Structure 1
Amino acid sequence: MTDAASSRRIDWIDIARGVALIAMAIYHFSWDLGYFGYIDPAAASSGPLKWFARSIASSFLFLVGISLILAHVNGIRWKGYGRRLAMIVASALAITVATRLFTPDAYVFFGILHQIAFASVVGLAFLRLPSPVLFAIAAAWLSVPFWGKSMLFDAPWLTWLGLSPFPPRSNDFVPVFPWFAAVLTGMGVGRLLIKTNATDRLRAHPPGRNLVSTALRFLGRHSLATYLLHQPILIACVYLFSLVILPDQGASFVRSCVATCSAQYEANKCEAFCGCALSKLQENGLLEGVFKGELSQSNDPRVAELTDACSIEAFSDDK
């Protein structure tokens, strides 16, 4: 980046992006702990952590909207725009391929990077709109999932819109509706910053130079690389830790089993089924294989027989 381009940056925005990246790493670390069985695997997708994740995604997209306005305030800089878009699209595709290989049942087909790529293209159509119009469109966009969901959008090639009545299973799903509303809101704020000359004041009064602000600014200026690298590093660290201190496989199995089962059956019956399955798997020395994903109902008749017996015992009155 040239000195001229660098001078147009606003350190406060880079720092805000850095804070969002730190928050994202904290959330992903909790997901990793659940994946390895140190906490409830469902914790990262429910309760406070679920809302924490949504606030992080909202902040990222909000900052994307602000940056989109500030980057093209004097016209679209096509060369830099094209290079950045190509990097985002390539990274999004890499995430899809990697998760398809390692977590095929919940792979990422339209996550935060896919949404940012979408916003980077579609957002160009809204660049010249004034703040009130942008805020109005954002509000309308946000409302669409409340009244616009339909089975017409349940086709796999339309799932990314976010209007199917049945949300897909994915470890990171940030559909067009309602999430593009956060980008539009950021664009509206970006317009206000320019109109009120707040951008000049922010540039004139940068944050103090200290270790924290420098680190956050660095992360914010290298947000894509940070996003791509942090999760492999975190999951490798948790994996190495698991080699030294094993998680409680039994408790982890029951938590995961109940979380999955409760999506279809009553919680108390799921607890009975999962407790029965745990006991039988432990008695037959099969728990470790199931816990590691090496054994399942589909590939081991012993597991199938045991779980079928527990299913009859727990759910017999449902039949």
Structure 2
Amino acid sequence: MTNADATTPKPPRFAIVDIARGVAIVGMVVYHFFWDLSYLRFFPVDVGYDPGWVAFARTLLASFLLLVGVGLVLGHGRAIRWRAFWKRFAMVATGALAITVATFFAFPDSFVYFGVLHAIALFSLMALPFLRAPLWLVVAVAAIFIGLPLVYSDPMFDHKVWSWIGFWVVPPPANDLVPVFPWFGVVLLGVLATRLILASSLAERLATITARGPILRSLALAGRWSLVIYLVHQPLLLGVLYPFALWLQPEIASRNGEFLGSCQQTCTEGGTPANLCVTYCQCGLEGVQENDLWNAIYTGRVSADEQAKLDAQNRLCSALIYPEAPLPE
């Protein structure tokens, strides 16, 4: 691949790409806002498990990773501008490290060790050879990365040390986990689509699109500052919402914490790995809340109907962490 030198002009910026990135970042802020509301029990839907919200989150992630491939081709397709590339890489990698450190202290049992920024940093490096590779090779490799997890999995990849690769049966607890398989394949789709568009007359038409009007200008601006927005939006959201949660429903926060602590202690003492206990107990907490079983939990007076609900939830949570065997009691 040709290397850029000091005389290589900066590639033109497509406003439509900034606008698309802005739409994605706004969608992500909306998703995290409702995730926070759900986590703090202001929103009745479990955003982390609800199929509609999960599909929304996956769509946003796919959009971001597609745009990573788009940006790489637009910025480095003719010749890699190494100084710009490493500057951007350092910013993303530093942001990923900051998120890991922050979430380790905030959520030690489910901290982010390979989230979207970690993935973007690695995928940007991995995608460089495909910016000028034959298109058939880009298609083939993208198909392998996307398709292989559909036909292969192994419990070895359930452990954190290997989970970033993919192929897990039950993923370890993490607030954000973006494995290489299948998601690098989505970046390659962005590379492929952009190379095809640039080789066609569609590129000229897309280049004429401008950010006119306050909405499009705002979206384009958000797209250009998407990394900064990604890094600061969650601390800002939680900084506002969490004090309200403690003020408006301190008894709920305390009750949830006591339940999770007791459940996880009992679970780990029974020989179940701690990471699986986190998932199991969070599932159990959601069942208690959804079925309003707090009185049964605290008093020990359980009706036949409540016992049936507790048993059903136990089976559901056991299957979540051990799909082929129940959790030992």
Does the TM-score normalized on the shorter chain lie above 0.5? Answer: yes
> Which residue matches 2:234?
231
Any idea what the Cα deviations from partners look like across 1:227-252, whole Å, max 9, x if unmatched? 001111111222344366448839x9
- C-alpha distance after superposition, 1:231-287 (max 9, x if no partner): 11111222344366448839x959x9799558589x69x95865412557xxxxxxx
Q: Give matches, 1:234-249, under 5 Å.
A: 234-242=237-245, 245-246=248-249, 249=252
Instruction: Give secondary structure in 2 for the equivalent of 1:199.
Output: helix
Q: Which residue of 2 aligns with 1:277?
A: 297
Partner residue, 2:115: 111
Query: Gaps spanning 5+ residues in structure 2: where?
Result: 1-8, 264-278, 301-305, 315-327
Cα drift, residue 172 of structure 1: 0.6
Q: Which amino acid aligns with 1:12?
A: I
Displacement of 1:112 in angstroms is 0.6
Question: Which of 118, 125, 134 is matched with 1:121 structurally?
Answer: 125
Q: Give 1:51 deviation, angstroms.
A: 0.8
**2: CA distance between counterparts of 1:208 and 1:262?**
44
Alignment of 1:1-319 (within 5 A): 5=10, 8-40=12-44, 42-203=46-207, 205-242=208-245, 245-246=248-249, 249=252, 253=256, 260=280, 263=283, 271=291, 274-278=294-298
Deviation at 1:69, TM superposition (A): 1.1
Deviation at 1:132, TM superposition (A): 4.1
Distance 1:9 1:40, change over 3 A: same
What do residues 6-32 of structure 1 show as CA deviations (whole Å, max 9, x unaligned)? Answer: x71100000000000000001000111
Aligned residue type for 2:91: M
Flag the 1:185–1:169 CA change in 2: closer, same or farther, 3 A. same
Separation in 2 of the partners of 1:69 and 1:275? Answer: 59
Task: List runs of 5+ in structure 1 lacking aligned partners.
Answer: 281-309
Q: 1:230 and 1:238, CA in 2 relative to 1: closer, same or farther beyond 3 A?
A: same
User: Looking at both structures, which has the greater relative contact order when contacts are Cα pairs under 8 Å and sequence separation is at least 6?
Assistant: 1
Change (3 A) 1:199 1:44: same
Letter in 2 for 1:223: S
Contact 1:31 1:41 survives alignment (8 Å): no
Give the AA of the match of 1:139: A
TM-score normalised according to structure 1 size? 0.77
Matched residue of 2:141: which SS? helix
Q: State the 1:166 CA deviation.
A: 2.2
- SS of the residue corresponding to residue 105 of structure 1 reads coil
Structure 1 counterpart of 2:122, which letter? F
In structure 2, relative to structure 1, the CA distance for the partners of 1:139 and 1:272 (3 Å cut) is same
Change (3 A) 1:57 1:208: closer
Identify if the C-alpha distance between structure 1 residues 248 and 75 changes in structure 2 by more than 3 Å, giving closer, same or farther.
same
Distance 1:129 1:35, change over 3 A: same
Give the number of aligned pairs. 280
Going from structure 1 to structure 2, the CA distance change for 1:262 and 1:212 (only over 3 Å counts) comes to: closer
Contact 1:62 1:183 in 2 (8 A): yes
CA distance in 1, matches of 2:163, 2:298: 36
Q: 1:200 to 1:237 in 2, by over 3 A?
A: same
**Distance in 2 between the 1:314 and 1:19 partners?**
42
Whether the 8 Å CA contact 1:130–1:191 is kept in 2: the answer is no
TM-score between the two structures when normalised by the length of structure 2: 0.75
Cα distance, 1:179–1:73 mapped onto 2, change above 3 Å? same
Amino acid at match of 2:31: Y
8 Å Cα contact 2:19/2:211 also seen in 1: no
What is the SS of the residue equivalent to 2:164? Answer: helix
